[in-house]
Every structure is written in structure tokens, then in C-alpha cells.
């Protein structure tokens, strides 16, 4: 017996992956655009936005969402959200980009996506560090990364040509998009599902939590 799944965060499961003619057109257009290189963090964010894992985001955050998340832990529309998802570039690169432009987001010279630039804005590193990570100490890796990134954030929807290279190589047999995961849940008739996300190697307490959860849920 199939059971209805809960709604994705925000009510809509986003899919920003281009297909067919649209994908071919974007790939042909990309070399003519300003190239924006992506960091490892950006690559992870791009994959998550593209597949809907960061629904309802359709691209990198604009200033209203950014400020609301940093100071209120919510998107500007009130939806709970705790960490900004932004794309930082140098002031020099930002000067080459105008509002309304398309830019190519690239990994090692390979265009993965087009970004439709809706906003460019500066941000307060210390305020973000203090409110998001609760510290301004650069010994914290998140703070260190934040302080090293560019001075300008560019925002807008993305249209994804290809996922980052690691999507096809790292845990490929276990790597499911939200759409694929939801289909598996439905096929197996799972009603209660627990997910665990870790930012570091699993500790004994984490192991205990997961084993306990598996005893009381379907998957």
C-alpha cells in the first residue's frame, strides 16, 4: 500500500537541471559569457540546488534572503533556514558583471551552469560569522572559509548543464537525488523515515542514535 509523502521544504521540489535542446543551447552559450570559478563549497551548493535538496531555493540567495537568514534564521518569506547559500566573487570579477547578465559557473574550465544575475551586493563577514557560527575565530573552518571568500555576492536563479564531476564518482551507487529518494520511499511503502547528516566522522553517540532510529522507523 502506498502512502502519501510529506511535502518538500517550502512545498515545491525544485529541479534546475536542463535537458535536451535547452541543455545544448546553454552549453553552446556558456563560452561567450563571463566565467565564474566555483569553490568546493559552491560545487556542493550547486548540486544541491540543481536536484532540489535545497528546495525551495532556485539559485544563490539575494540580499533580502541572505540578511534574513543571518539575523533571523529564516528566508525573507518566513520559511525556516539556518545557513546562507551564496556565491562570492572578487570585486574585480564583480565589476565585469552587470545585473541582468548571464554568467557561466565553471569547474576546472568546464561550464556546469548558467546564472541569471539578479543582484550583486556586499556583506558583513563578521556579522555572518557571529550569527551563523556563533564565533569570529578563524580556527573554526566555516569562519576561515568565509573570511577567505570574495567581497561581493552575486545572486540569481541557476540553470544547470551538468552536475559537478564528483557526482558521478563519489558514492555513485548510493547517491540519490530527492526525486529518486522519494520514489524509493514510495516503492517500499515507507511511512517513517529518518535521515542523519554529519559534518564530521561519526562518533559513538551518532552511531547509537542511528541504530536506535533504525529500530523504530521503516528506513
Residue in 19, 108, 200, 204 annotated catalytic: 200
**Grid cell locating 106:** 565553471
Characterize 134-148 residue by residue with b for buried, 16 or more Cβ atoms within 10 angstroms of its Cβ, and e for exposed.
eeeeeeeebbeebee
DSSP string, 108-123: TTEEEEEEE--EEEE-
Among 192, 30, 29, 197, residue whose Cα is nearest residue 111: 30
Q: Is 77 a catalytic residue?
A: no
- Concerning whether 198 is annotated as a catalytic residue, the answer is yes
From the list 19, 108, 199, 204, the catalytic residue is 199
**Residue of 32, 108, 198, 204 marked catalytic:** 198
By the 10 Å C-beta count (0-12 exposed, 13-18 middle, 19+ buried), 70 is classed as buried
Query: How many angstroms from the chain centroid is the CA of residue 72?
Result: 19
Q: Is 15 a catalytic residue?
A: no
Alpha-carbon gap, residue 86 to 211, rounded angstroms:
35
- Of 70, 219, 92, the closest CA to residue 150 belongs to 92
Residues involved in catalysis:
198-200
Amino acid at each position: 500500500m502506498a502512502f502519501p509523502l510529506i511535502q518538500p521544504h517550502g512545498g515545491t521540489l525544485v529541479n534546475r537541471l536542463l535537458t535536451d535542446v535547452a541543455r545544448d543551447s546553454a552549453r553552446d552559450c556558456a563560452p561567450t559569457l563571463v566565467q565564474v570559478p566555483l569553490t568546493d563549497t559552491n560545487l556542493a551548493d550547486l548540486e544541491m540546488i540543481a536536484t532540489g535538496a535545497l528546495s525551495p531555493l532556485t539559485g544563490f540567495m539575494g540580499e533580502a534572503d541572505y540578511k534574513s537568514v543571518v539575523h533571523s534564521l529564516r528566508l525573507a518569506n518566513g520559511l525556516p533556514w539556518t545557513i546562507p547559500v551564496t556565491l562570492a566573487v572578487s570585486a574585480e570579477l564583480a565589476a565585469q558583471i552587470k545585473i541582468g547578465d548571464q554568467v557561466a559557473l565553471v569547474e576546472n574550465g568546464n561550464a556546469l551552469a548558467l546564472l541569471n544575475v539578479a543582484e550583486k551586493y556586499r556583506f558583513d563577514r563578521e556579522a555572518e560569522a557571529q550569527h551563523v557560527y556563533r564565533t569570529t575565530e578563524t580556527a573554526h573552518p566555516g569562519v576561515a572559509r568565509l573570511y577567505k571568500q570574495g567581497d561581493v555576492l552575486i545572486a540569481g536563479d541557476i540553470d544547470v548543464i551538468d552536475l559537478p564531476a564528483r557526482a558521478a564518482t563519489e558514492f555513485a551507487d548510493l547517491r540519490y537525488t530527492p526525486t529518486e529518494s522519494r520514489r524509493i520511499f514510495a516503492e517500499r511503502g515507507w511511512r517513517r523515515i529518518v535521515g542523519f547528516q554529519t559534518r564530521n566522522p561519526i562518533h559513538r553517540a551518532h552511531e547509537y542514535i542511528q541504530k536506535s532510529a533504525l529500530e523504530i522507523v521503516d528506513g
